[in-house]
Amino acid sequence: MTTMPRVYVLDTGALLSTWTRKNPDSDFVTVPAVLNELHNRPSQRRAETLISTGRLREEVPESLHVAKVKETAHSTGDLHALSDNDIQLLALALSKKESGFTVIVVSGDLSLLNTASFMGLTVVDLGLRMTQQVTWGLRCPACGHTENRAADERECPVCGTVMRRWAVKERRMA
Ligand SMILES: [Zn+2]
């Protein structure tokens, strides 16, 4: 019996912390844009060591996977809260999953983690705050009008106030 290879997909938060030291026998991947976000010397040195020992690889996702991530994030209402780097990283995670890897996404960003969990990926929350999967909608703080989709923050069709994100559905994570 063969076991599926396991890979950890690392967001900036994982590389800025000493998280990688707590997982010494694991393989890591990330996108070039995340490595470019490491501006302090200790985290740059940690990343360089991981790369030179072959434990961390940088890969660029395909546009096909980027489009799929945007579609998922649009449906959960997370899209406008995700940066380009977040989307790149999720696209890489998705491509690894489709190549047969068991993928674990490591991040401290709740929108990123939420989208990842909707894509069927295992997540490690560096901030330990994520307890639920959330589908976002919009609610008007003035008149209470709600919408089940949160494609963008926009004005309330009833009274014109800028609507805010709210959780339409929450599902407790196992
Ligand atoms: Zn309103």
- pLDDT for 85: 94
* Longest CA pairwise span in the chain (Å): 62
- Give domain status of residue 1, yes or no: no
- Provide the number of structural domains found in the chain: 2
Q: Is 33 exposed, middle or buried (0-12, 13-18, 19+ CB in 10 A)?
A: middle
81 with 141, same domain: the answer is no
List, in sequence order, every residue forming a beta bridge with 146; answer none if it has no partner: 139
44 with 119, same domain: the answer is yes
- pLDDT for 145: 87
Q: Is residue 81 within 8 Å of residue 164, measured between CB atoms?
A: no
CA distance 18 to 43: 8
Q: Give the domain range for residue 85.
A: 6-125
59 with 99, same domain: the answer is yes
145 with 101, same domain: the answer is no
The closest of 74, 82, 76 to 109, measured between CA atoms, is 82
Centre of ligand 1 from the C-alpha of residue 131, in Å: 30
64 with 136, same domain: the answer is no
Centre of ligand 1 from the C-alpha of residue 140, in Å: 5
CA distance 76 to 167: 10
Centre of ligand 1 from the C-alpha of residue 139, in Å: 8
Centre of ligand 1 from the C-alpha of residue 90, in Å: 34
Centre of ligand 1 from the C-alpha of residue 156, in Å: 5
45 with 101, same domain: the answer is yes
CA distance 112 to 79: 9
166 with 99, same domain: the answer is no
57 with 76, same domain: the answer is yes
The whole-number mean pLDDT for each consecutive block of 10 residues of the chain, a chain of 174 residues, reads: 81 88 88 91 91 95 95 89 94 95 91 91 80 76 83 80 78 62
- pLDDT for 150: 66
Centre of ligand 1 from the C-alpha of residue 166, in Å: 14
